[in-house]
Copies of this chain bind each other. A is one copy, B any other.
Amino acid sequence: MGHNGMEIVDMFSMQPIGYVRSPYTDSKQIPKGLGVKHDAEGVLEVLTEFEAGLTDIEGFSHLFVIWAFDRSEGFDLVVTPPSDNKPHGVFATRSPRRPNPIALTVVELISRDRGRLRVRGVDMLDGTSVLDIKPYLSSVPPERLRRGWLAEAEELSAVKR
């Protein structure tokens, strides 16, 4: 049911605004699991036609990168992530097998050279399609953040170590 109560399907068509240059060419190389820190450096290569959209972006220390899980097909509603041995709803995880193959990563902006953004914190494969870039503005205060099953899985994993 659409928002106006009729049986409609609103489809949205997205295309890359650029591509990621990353040290990772195989998803097995990307660190996964508990307590993983992503500090790999990479480059967001924004297509020349969209370069003017980056004006003033160098003033921001961190960016949201919205990208496509372009090497993932199909989806599961319930998944068992690498950081736990229990299944969880896909919307409570970062699994690539989602109804819409949209991924989100916060990166630190190191420098900009025209359409090339050097960033730290990439967890994408080389050649991944970038759909959008937004400034990262504010944070949720740590004392107000609850991290659900992930916090439990971390505690269990700490006991096991």
Query: Known contacts being A60-B92, A139-B139, A145-B136, is A13 close to B10, with CB within 8 Å?
Result: no
Smallest distance from the beta carbon of A91 to chain B beta carbons, Å? 4
Q: Check B102 against A146 for contact (C-beta < 8 Å).
A: no
CA distance A77 to B77 in the complex (A): 36
User: How many identical chains are in the complex?
Assistant: 2
Q: How far is the CB of A48 from chain B (nearest CB, A)?
A: 10
Please name 9 pairs of A and B residues whose Cβ atoms are closer than 8 Å in the assembled complex, sorted by A.
A10-B70, A11-B14, A12-B15, A17-B99, A52-B89, A55-B92, A62-B145, A66-B100, A135-B148
In the complex, given contacts A56-B89, A60-B146, what are 7 additional A-B residue pairs having Cβ atoms less than 8 angstroms apart?
Answer: A3-B127, A55-B87, A57-B89, A91-B132, A100-B131, A100-B132, A135-B150
- Hey, which bits of chain A sit against chain B, CB under 8 A? 1-4, 9-17, 19, 46-47, 50, 52-62, 64, 66, 68, 70, 77-78, 87-94, 98-102, 104, 106, 126-129, 131-142, 144-152
